[in-house]
Structure formats: C-alpha cells, structure tokens
A and B are shown apart, each in its own frame.
Chain A
Amino acid sequence: MKKIQWGWLKSSMLAVALLAFAAASSAQLTVTGAGASFPYPMYSKWFDEYHKAHPDTQINYQSIGSGGGIKNITDGTVDFGASDMPMTDKQLAEYRTAQNQGIQHFPTVLGAAVPLYNVPGVSGDLNFSGPVLADIFLGKITKWNDAAIVKENPGVKLPATEIVVVHRSDPSGTTFMWTDFLSKVSPEWKSKVGANTAVNWPVGLGGKGSEGVTGTVKQTANSLGYVELLYAKQNKLAYGKVKNSSGKFIKAEVDSVSAAAAGVEVPADFRVSITDPKGDKAYPVSSFTWLLVPEKIKDPAKDKAVHDFLVWMIGPGQTLTAALDYAPLPKSVVDMEKKALGLAADAPVKSPAKAAPKKGK
C-alpha cells in the first residue's frame, strides 16, 4: 500500500516537472541557425536586437561557414542555414531528397571583395579592370609596370617588380565573389579556373582568413590580394578601384555595393550572382549573402518565428546595417522579399509584433 502511494507521488512529481519544463520552453522559443561567417557580426546584432524587441524568441546562430550551413540545413540539424553562395541545383535536389520539401533563399545584406595591394612608392588608389585582374591572377601579367596596368593608372609610377598574388587558402564567400567576377570578365579564367568558394589557383600564396591575406599583403612587398570590404574598412586598409561594366573605376563603398544589387534582374528564387552588374555607380565585385529557410519548418511556432524575423529583417533590420559597414538591400530587392514573405509589395515593414499580435496580451 505504502509502495503504491510512493509511486503515485513520484509520477505526479514527474508530471509537475514536465509541465513546468513545457511551460518554460513555451515561454521562450529557441530557433537555431548556422552558416556563413561573413555576415555573422550583422546577424548577431540583428538576433540580439530582435530578442530585445521580442523576448519570447531567441535565435541562436553558429558561424560555422557557408558549406557547413548548407550541410546542416540539408541534414535537418538546424532550423535555418546561411550561405555566401547560393545553393547549386544539385544541392537543392539533395535538400529536396533529404527533407522532402524545397528551400528558400532570402538575401539579407551585401558584401564586396576589394583589391588590396602593397607596392612600395605607390600611395593612393590604384585602378584595375576585370581583365587585368584576371590576367594577374592567371599569372599572365607578372610585373607591376606591365603596359596594361600602366594604361589604367596614368601618372602613377609603377615599379618593374614581380607581382606577388595573394589569395584565401580557406574556402570563402569572398573568394566566390572574386572568382565569379573574374569568370564573367575573362573567358580564359572561366575555362581554366572557374568560380567557387575555393578554386585551383594558378599562382600565388594562400593566407588563412581575411587576416591571413591582409598579413601576407602587408608583409610582402609588391603583393596584390583581395579581402572583404567590411574587413578592409574596419582595419582602415587602403584598397583599389575596379572598373565596372559602364567603364568607370569605382571604389567599393556601402552605396556603390547597394547600387550593384539594384543593377541586376533578381529572379524570384533570389539565387543570383550580382558581379559585373549594369549601372554607372555600381561596384562590380559584390554579392548578396543569403538565409536559407525551409519552405515549412516542422515546428509551426519556429516557422512563424523565422517568418516574423524575416519581416523584421527587411524592415527595421536594414536600418542597422550601415553602422556595421554592411551594404543594405536596395528597395527593389526588399519589395521582392516582401512578396516572397506573402506581404503586399507596398506593405509597411514594421515590427511584426503589430503585424502578428501575441495572443492573450
């Protein structure tokens, strides 16, 4: 008799504990994402601000790299992924087989790759056109005073020294932008090397991470590399201009990068490369970075939380970008994303707390 009572007590305690646990977990919903490291400072700011405005939603983001983000979302171990490179058709097919549904790309911010150099005796911005950059990275132009470089930099005294090419040794979204641009402007680059987050470099030294490339360029006289614009700005590095499709040499800035996104026809699935775009003011070596969101996240509460976050991201979220040197999305892309999120194109994007009021409060 006593034993049975004990059993009752135990199971009722367990039930109470479970209820308490369930209550605690419903009070705060935790959504998990993983992927690209380039937008991590922006995402972490966004998720923090969003959590302040919506204490019931906590978004955790692990900056493990774009490849890892695509792998994790395909395996279903995270609620959403993030990548600096759009998923390929093959990856989309793999996702569909694994998760039995489709996945959507949502551009969040823009990044750009800028040429970084260390040429003794040269101060000020050097100008580079795409074909010249491609020839340098192919190892065809080997000297700084090559006629092709001199022609683009009238009045600059360039030395007769070997160009030391520096690139990323770890796969990176920056490398994707850089090689994607070179592929568009140089048929030879396209056929010999191609575009990817990591490629088979014809020449050069590899540095690990933006800091590795920057360190190598700084230490190696007559070197030329590329880094992410954000990194160059935060470390106050001098970088060169790149010629766009209108024939103008443009310096990468938040505005010229946003202009690049406006100069491209963005398809409905947002999987688009925006390197070498149209537009006078567009900087040609830039790219979106994307959140990868399943069409339907299995947990409806999480599905709604991610949707609400995306609505917030294209609205108030975009105003936070400039402070961190990220280029915001142009209006045309924001309007398309509104449509993809099921909002009217002219809907005011404000805090989703108003768009979707919490029940019982």
Chain B
Amino acid sequence: MATSQAVVRPANRFFRRVREGNEIAYTITVICAASILLVTVLLVFQLWNNSGIARHKFGWSFIGSQTWDPVNEDFGALPLAFGTLVSSALALLIAVPSGLMAAIFLAELAPPKASDVLTFLIELLAAVPSVIYGLLGIFLLVPILKDHVVPVLKSTLGWLPIFSGPFYGYSMLAAGLVLAIMIIPFIVSVSREVLLAVPVEQREAALGLGATRWEATWQIVIPYASRGIYGSIFLALARALGETMAVTMVIGNNPKIAMSLLAPGYSIAAVIANEFSEASSAMHAASLTELGLVLFAITVIINGAARLMMLTTAEHAK
C-alpha cells in the first residue's frame, strides 16, 4: 500500500489537486488579483496615450497655465487642480472633526440600540448616489447659504480675503459643504468600526488608573485607533477628490483662481464630465484626458503621502 502511493506520478498528483480544488481556486484568485494590476496599467496607458498631442503641445506648462480656452485651443490645468484641491480640503476641514466626534459618540458613548440605528442610517447615506447630493446642494444648501449663512459670515468675517466679493450661491464654499456632507458617512462608519475594535482592556486599564471616561477615550482609545481613523480620512479624501456630479452642480463651473471661497470655481472631474462628450477638437479632448492624468497623479501622490504618514506614525507607536 505504502509503496503504491509513493509512485504516484506528478501528473496524477496534479489532477488530484485539481479534484481537490486547490489549483482551480489558486488560478481563479490569481487571475482576479492580476486583473487589478492590469486595469491600473491600462488606465495609465490610455490616459497617457490619448493625451499625447496635448502633452506634446503644452509640456509642463500645462500644469502651471491658468487659461482654459477651447476657442484658441489653449489649455492649462492650474485653476482646475486648484478647485479640486481647495474643495476637497474644505470638505475635510468640515468633515473630519464632525465625523470623528460622531464616531466617538456612536462607538463609546451612545446606548447600543441608538448606536445601531444611527450607524445604519449613516451607512445608508454613504450609498446615496452623488447626483442626489447635488440636488440637495442646489435646493437646500445654496439657498440657506445665500439667505442665512453668508450674510452673517460677511458681516463678521467679511474682512478676511476668503470671504470677500459678491456671493451668488454657486461657489467653492457650496462645493466644499456638499462634499463634506458626502464624505462624513465614510469617516463615521469606518472610524466607528475601528474604535469598537480597540480592546476593552485598554479602556479598563485607563479607567482603573483613575481616568475619566472622556480621558480614557481621548487619550487611550483614539491614539490606539489612530491608524484606522487616518485610513477613514484618506478614503473620504479620495472620494472628495474624484467627486464629479455633486461638485459640478454647485461649484459654479468657472475656471478662475479666486482667493474667496464665495467665488465660483471649477474642478478637474467636473470639467471632464462637462466637456468631454462635446469636446470641440482633438486638442480639447486630449487636454481633458491630460487633466485625467493630472487627477490620477494627484490621487497617487496624496495616497502615497498618506501611506508614508501612516508608516511613520506606526513607528512612533512602537
């Protein structure tokens, strides 16, 4: 018996492994994993290829130029990249503190039943299509900003350059606010999970040493969960950077760089969505594709920086 098993030929062994399912599972999973790489490579390749004439014509000045002129076929990315970065930064500025506070409440302080119901609602919000948030922006946010918020802002902080100039509703501020509302659910639901995953012993030890509930949360639980919280913020930022529909509906679609948050702006994703289908010339289409490349680069740089930051904080923690 023992000898007959020892002389099983390699081919037979392979078929046995196939029958057991290992090979098939291996093949399927490896193909799926490789396809991710393939999609990324194809994406860069296509963006690079289709933006050829624009890259050739404008070179690096594409990134620094402020003109977006389809008539004279003169294109530059700066005001659009500016709009993308400023609207996303504004969104983070609003969403991170409020999202984090909500997550702390849900994970640490709320009664479990209330926490479950609220969490369910928040996860529902994360699944709402962005065009709906755009409508919310147009019908609710813009009128409220125009009639109530901005008059107050102008009378108190109007001397700040970021609140100068006339306000028509459609603005960088409106875009930042809509984005903030859209990304808060991401921050809340991921951060809550992370906070809940902090071992109970950590809290017990802090409380045992005489810390108050809030001290235990703020000084022990939050630092313990910080990497996961950063993760939720970067996930939210990625969504804000790439958000198209809701932004284009409220940002005012004007490719100018303005100091004031009350002035209209434009973002990379919004201009691509607006203009690509009707691009009037090959150069116009190529420039829009190059904008896609710029947005891709911004995303890669920010995500790379995020990774780096998380690595260094991990080392600090050790």
Looking at the assembled complex, report how far the CB atom of A202 sits from the nearest CB atom of chain B, in whole angstroms: 10
Residues of B within 8 A of A198 (CB): 70, 275, 278, 280, 284
- In the complex, are the beta carbons of A171 and B249 less than 8 A apart? no
Selected from B71, B142, B249, B279, the residue in CB contact (under 8 A) with A199 is B71
Contacting B at CB under 8 A, from A153-179, are 162, 164, 169-172
Binds B, one of A52-60, A205-213, A317-325, A332-340: A205-213
- In the complex, are the beta carbons of A206 and B279 less than 8 A apart? no
Contacting A at CB under 8 A, from B250-299, are 252-255, 264, 266, 270, 274-275, 277-282, 284-285
Looking at the assembled complex, report how far the CB atom of B303 sits from the nearest CB atom of chain A, in whole angstroms: 29
Residues of A within 8 A of B278 (CB): 65-68, 170-172, 197-198
Selected from A94, A169, A216, the residue in CB contact (under 8 A) with B274 is A169
Docked complex Cα distance between A162 and B168 (Å): 10
Number of A-B contacts (CB under 8 A): 89
Looking at the assembled complex, report how far the CB atom of B256 sits from the nearest CB atom of chain A, in whole angstroms: 9
Residues of A within 8 A of B70 (CB): 171, 196-200
Residues of B within 8 A of A172 (CB): 278
Looking at the assembled complex, report how far the CB atom of B184 sits from the nearest CB atom of chain A, in whole angstroms: 25
Contacting A at CB under 8 A, from B28-70, are 67-70
Docked complex Cα distance between A172 and B280 (Å): 9
- In the complex, are the beta carbons of B249 and A208 less than 8 A apart? yes
Across the interface, name the chain A residue whose C-beta is closest to B69: A200
Whether a CB of chain B sits under 8 angstroms from the CB of A138 is no
- In the complex, are the beta carbons of A171 and B280 less than 8 A apart? yes
Looking at the assembled complex, report how far the CB atom of B164 sits from the nearest CB atom of chain A, in whole angstroms: 15
Known: A205-B264, A208-B253, A208-B274. A171 touches B168 (CB 8 A): no
Docked complex Cα distance between A176 and B67 (Å): 20
Residues of A within 8 A of B170 (CB): 205, 216, 220
Interface residue count on the B side (C-beta < 8 Å) = 32
Selected from A65, A195, A197, A220, the residue in CB contact (under 8 A) with B169 is A220
Contacting B at CB under 8 A, from A57-77, are 64-68, 71
Whether a CB of chain B sits under 8 angstroms from the CB of A290 is no
Residues of A within 8 A of B166 (CB): 162
Q: C-beta contact mask, A98-141 vs B, less than 8 Å → 1, else 0?
A: 00000000000000000000000000000000000000000000
Looking at the assembled complex, report how far the CB atom of A197 sits from the nearest CB atom of chain B, in whole angstroms: 5
- In the complex, are the beta carbons of A194 and B71 less than 8 A apart? yes
- In the complex, are the beta carbons of A68 and B69 less than 8 A apart? no
- In the complex, are the beta carbons of B253 and A205 less than 8 A apart? yes
Q: Which secondary structure dominates where chain A touches chain B? A: loop
Across the interface, name the chain B residue whose C-beta is closest to A201: B254
Across the interface, name the chain A residue whose C-beta is closest to B135: A215
Docked complex Cα distance between A348 and B54 (Å): 51
Q: C-beta contact mask, B96-138 vs A, less than 8 Å → 1, else 0?
A: 0000000000000000000000000000000000000000001
- In the complex, are the beta carbons of B277 and A205 less than 8 A apart? no
Looking at the assembled complex, report how far the CB atom of B147 sits from the nearest CB atom of chain A, in whole angstroms: 11
- In the complex, are the beta carbons of B280 and A197 less than 8 A apart? yes
| Interface hub of A85, A193, A215 (most chain B Cβ within 10 A) | A215
Docked complex Cα distance between A197 and B71 (Å): 8
Looking at the assembled complex, report how far the CB atom of B129 sits from the nearest CB atom of chain A, in whole angstroms: 16
- In the complex, are the beta carbons of B169 and A207 less than 8 A apart? no
Whether a CB of chain A sits under 8 angstroms from the CB of B3 is no
Whether a CB of chain A sits under 8 angstroms from the CB of B248 is yes
Whether a CB of chain B sits under 8 angstroms from the CB of A204 is yes
Q: C-beta contact mask, A333-361 vs B, less than 8 Å → 1, else 0?
A: 00000000000000000000000000000
Whether a CB of chain A sits under 8 angstroms from the CB of B143 is yes
- In the complex, are the beta carbons of A196 and B280 less than 8 A apart? yes
Looking at the assembled complex, report how far the CB atom of A124 sits from the nearest CB atom of chain B, in whole angstroms: 24
Residues of B within 8 A of A64 (CB): 277
Nearest first, the 6 closest Cβ-Cβ pairs linking A and B are A206-B253, A169-B253, A171-B278, A200-B69, A194-B71, A65-B278
Chain B residues close to A by CB (< 8 Å): 67-72, 138, 142-143, 166, 168-170, 248-249, 252-255, 264, 266, 270, 274-275, 277-282, 284-285
7 contacts between A and B (CB under 8 A): A67-B280, A171-B274, A198-B70, A200-B70, A200-B255, A205-B170, A205-B252
Chain A residues close to B by CB (< 8 Å): 64-68, 71, 85, 90, 94, 162, 164, 169-172, 193-201, 204-208, 212, 215-216, 219-220, 223
